[in-house]
Chain A
């Protein structure tokens, strides 16, 4: 097994699979129990000395319990019906509320097709920043999840769906903004009475969560992988020195760049810095916004990225700094700009 493959496997192992069951199922109930146990702990002696900090902590605990309870399937069904009123497009999944949460999530995903991504993206961007700073954001990040839920959703949708939908789905998590308070159903009640966009964020986010279990790795459109591989494999071989580089590894590489890379709007692709032989290079992985398929994976010169994707802010750096123009030994006449020997 090559070093490259080993790195790959490690990277894939690092990413725990998303489980939509964590919304409104065992995980939530388990966490709810933990939360309730904490609440029954004798604490009244301290109550008279409540400081702002303690109050805040208590409020977080309550909101956490509220969030968890608010996502239980039975409550979800009742409120989801009302949310439909606020959805601008059709969300056919809501017709079947009352069945399992899994079904609801799956069918909400179907409703995503009606989402107007441009509007959602704009509103969701704003909502996302609010969410990250909110009490609820801290709760989500603190849930007993190997990877914080909000971050998982964000990463997943960023990689899997058109950007507009992705933004809206991340914004869906901002539905948790409405769960602040003491009443158990405040979260969903807040969503149903909120702006129409909020309802849609919610549907989008839940839909994406519902779909997440069915997708692990992205692929090229049927037949396209071979075409791109044929064009670019030679470059990978030269830069990375791979022997026996395969289409499967090529697709895995693309997934890795999409997972860990930075999105460049100028290139409509995810980009990351590649190692290997020669000057600095970027790996560019394209994604079809409509289908979620990989469109390309290839190497680009860092100078190209500086010129064509200025939003990345990447500029070529000199590897060596010339310090001595007289010495006969070239190695002694240069030093690394990074301080390395």
Chain B
């Protein structure tokens, strides 16, 4: 289960924060504004990859997530629902903001980069 482990406020008046979420195996720093969450709260919806690019088939069939900058990531994820652009890393579901090509079959692994992971 995905849970919020920390909230780092960037601006309290704007309710803007970097929210750390984790499924106990993978940890993500997500951007959230307006943030009405609290620590230990469970997340039951996908997080959103923002400005996704360089999507391609992965050479490996193993989940991976690496920080490439402040809030930006390079991920290897499994396609869950191709038509809804849903992928997952571990138990963390991610909705991409671009279409997943039809060659990426459900269950296959893809690689992509995103400028930010957003928690809505």
Q: A276-315 CB contact bits vs B (8 Å, 1 = yes)?
A: 0011000010101110000110111101100110000000
Q: A295 to B98, Cβ gap below 8 A? A: no
List the A side residues contacting B70 at CB < 8 Å.
230-231, 234
Q: B120 to A279, Cβ gap below 8 A? A: no
Is the CB of B80 closer than 8 A to any CB of chain A? no
Minimum Cβ distance to chain B for residue A241 (Å) = 12
Q: Which residues of B contact A (CB under 8 A)?
A: 10-11, 13-16, 18, 31, 33-34, 48, 50-51, 53, 69-72, 97-98, 115-116, 118, 120
Minimum Cβ distance to chain B for residue A208 (Å) = 21
In the complex, chain A residues 94-152 whose Cβ is within 8 Å of any chain B Cβ: none
List the B side residues contacting A268 at CB < 8 Å.
14-15, 34
Q: B51 to A303, Cβ gap below 8 A? A: no
Minimum Cβ distance to chain A for residue B113 (Å) = 9
List the A side residues contacting B34 at CB < 8 Å.
266-268, 308
Q: B13 to A295, Cβ gap below 8 A? A: yes
Minimum Cβ distance to chain B for residue A265 (Å) = 11
What's the dominant secondary structure at chain A's contact region?
mixed
Q: A299 to B11, Cβ gap below 8 A? A: no
A295 and B18 contact, Cβ closer than 8 Å, known pairs A234-B115, A279-B97: no
List the B side residues contacting A307 at CB < 8 Å.
120
Q: A235 to B115, Cβ gap below 8 A? A: yes
Q: A278 to B72, Cβ gap below 8 A? A: no
Given contacts A289-B13, A295-B14, A304-B118, 19 further A-B contacts (CB under 8 A): A224-B11, A228-B11, A231-B18, A234-B72, A234-B115, A235-B71, A238-B51, A238-B115, A268-B14, A286-B14, A286-B16, A295-B16, A296-B10, A296-B16, A296-B33, A300-B118, A303-B97, A307-B120, A308-B120
Is the CB of A269 closer than 8 A to any CB of chain B? yes
Q: B51 to A239, Cβ gap below 8 A? A: yes
CA distance A234 to B98 in the complex (A): 19
List the A side residues contacting B118 at CB < 8 Å.
300-301, 304
Q: B13 to A288, Cβ gap below 8 A? A: yes
